[in-house]
Amino acid sequence: MRSWCFLLLLTIPLAALVLAAGSMPVLSLGNVTQPARVADDFDAIKVGDRIRVTLRRGGKYEGEVVEKVGQIISVKHRFGTARIDRSDVLEWERFKTISEQFDERAEQCKTAEEWCDLGDWATEQAENSLAEQAWRKATELDPSNKRARDALGEVLHEGKWMPLEEAMRAQGKESYGGEWLTPEQIEARQEEESTAMRKESLKGRDAYIEELKGRPWAEMEPIITPHYVIYCNSTEDNARYYSDVMESLYRAYDKVFKEEFWPRKFKKFARSEVYIHANHQQFMDWTGNGPGIGGFYNMLRQDVTAYHGSFGTTGSTEEVLAHEGTHQFEGMIFKSLPSLPIWFVEGLAVYFGDGSEISRRKIGINEIPRDRLVGLKQAIEDGNYCDIRK
């Protein structure tokens, strides 16, 4: 917290925040309070009191009164010390800390099970040290109490209770993969795992090489969907995946350009064609494009060409298909894309391509195209951008 002013905005009592595992603050509901007292009872506050103060302008402080000078008290809380003037107080109340409640409950504990119950309660309050005290008390009354020993993580070894880790080490065992094993067992397990990893690595490599190699175009059968003909010479699985992606994209386009308002007057074929090459090199060899091109839309044939794999540092085949597929869809609606403003033509393509979360079943629009923002910022700084007012 950078200033005490920020603390005034908190509505959760500060002393009710305790740190759990991982240093994450969690809300403790264990404080017991006495009836709230109004500001007129301010004189009853004493140094050493643990109080919760509600301020007139909103917010609360909770902690121990460490100083009282005239009409001003200083309350020490978990994040510092706050000085509070009487005129700022709406009401206040005393409360008991978790430790104080623990002591009161402990006075009622007579059996090992009651001490275990108290240990569970302390655990719920994220007070692990108090919980351990309770379980230790339980073992004093019943040394073999399983509930307490389990909570403490202890086992009986050679007539002595000790932490599980210590008992296992006494038997020459070490923790490995969630099990306690001897050094010989660990060595054998590691050898098995290494062998399995090598096999899996080779298997994955072979599959990857086969995927990049692709299939001969002459042996490849196109996949026909309701709106597309997909020519993909990567693996059959990839071809089916991309055919699903294109249909998913079509549904997204159709939601924006509803056919009743945007008829496909300039659609040349019953189904739009999409060509997806198995790798980037094949794409470049086939199309004659350089390494900076991830895909394109041919306005004359109204088809899209792309390749399987990543594009640039963050681009993907799905994003390229979404971008170029937008142009393909635009080509069915508008007679001449070059006659339209480039911010409109490309803006829609970026909206669907770079600003979407794409899967084979659903397209999530409105993602932030951060890579595009970098380019836009540079264009604005250079004065090299398209003004939509023109």
332 versus 9: the higher-pLDDT residue is 332
What average pLDDT does the segment 71-79 reach?
89
pLDDT at 5 over 70: no
Listed by start position, the domains of the chain span 43-95, 99-171, 178-212, 217-382
* Among candidate residues 327, 219, 321, the one with its CA nearest the CA of residue 275: 321
Q: For position 204, what pLDDT does the model report?
A: 64
**For the stretch 116-141, what's the b/e string if a residue is b when 16 or more beta carbons lie within 10 angstroms of its beta carbon?**
bbbbebbbebbbeebbbbbbebbbee
What average pLDDT does the segment 243-252 reach?
92
What average pLDDT does the segment 108-121 reach?
95
pLDDT, tens only, 32-53: 555 555 556 888 888 888 888 8
The CATH fold of domain 99-171: 1.25.40
pLDDT at 214 over 50: yes
pLDDT at 18 over 50: no
pLDDT at 327 over 70: yes
Q: From CA 277, how far away is CA 293, in angstroms rounded?
A: 13
pLDDT, tens only, 160-184: 999 989 999 999 998 888 889 999 9
10 Å Cβ neighbour count for 380?
Answer: 10
pLDDT at 1 over 50: no
Q: Which residues contact residue 154 at a Cβ distance below 8 angstroms, ignoring those fewer than 6 apart? A: 161, 162, 163, 164
Q: From CA 59, how far away is CA 198, in angstroms rounded?
A: 60
pLDDT confidence tier of residue 352, bands split at 50, 70 and 90: confident
pLDDT confidence tier of residue 22, bands split at 50, 70 and 90: very low
The three-point CA angle 201-203-207 to 5° equals 115
Average pLDDT over the chain reads 82
Tell me which residue has tokens 């895909």: 295
Q: Which amino acid is at 98?
A: I
51: left (phi over 0), alpha (psi -120 to 50) or beta: beta
User: Whole-model pTM above 0.75?
Assistant: no
Q: From CA 53, how far away is CA 107, in angstroms rounded?
A: 30
Q: For position 362, what pLDDT does the model report?
A: 74
Q: What is the largest CA-CA distance in the chain?
A: 95
The pair phi, psi for residue 160, each rounded to 5°, is: -130, 135
What average pLDDT does the segment 238-260 reach?
91
Distances (CA, A) of 139 to 133, 136, 142, 162, 168: 10, 5, 5, 12, 21
First to last CA, the chain: 49
Q: Please name the residue ranges forming H helices in the chain.
A: 4-7, 98-106, 112-124, 128-141, 146-152, 164-170, 183-213, 236-256, 280-287, 317-333, 342-353, 370-382
What average pLDDT does the segment 72-79 reach?
89
pLDDT at 299 over 80: yes
> What is the per-residue DSSP string for 174-240?
EEETTEEE-HHHHHHHHHHHHHHHHHHHHHHHHHHHHHHH---GGGPPPEE-SSEEEEE-S-HHHHH
Q: For position 346, what pLDDT does the model report?
A: 85
Q: For position 20, what pLDDT does the model report?
A: 34
Q: From CA 37, how far away is CA 313, in angstroms rounded?
A: 63
Give the torsion sign (CA, 74, 76, 81, 87).
negative
The CATH fold of domain 217-382: Glutaredoxin (3.40.30)
The CATH fold of domain 43-95: SH3 type barrels. (2.30.30)
Q: Which of 114-118, 148-152, 291-295 is predicted with the least confidence, judged by mean pLDDT? A: 291-295
Tell me which residue has tokens 């719920």: 124
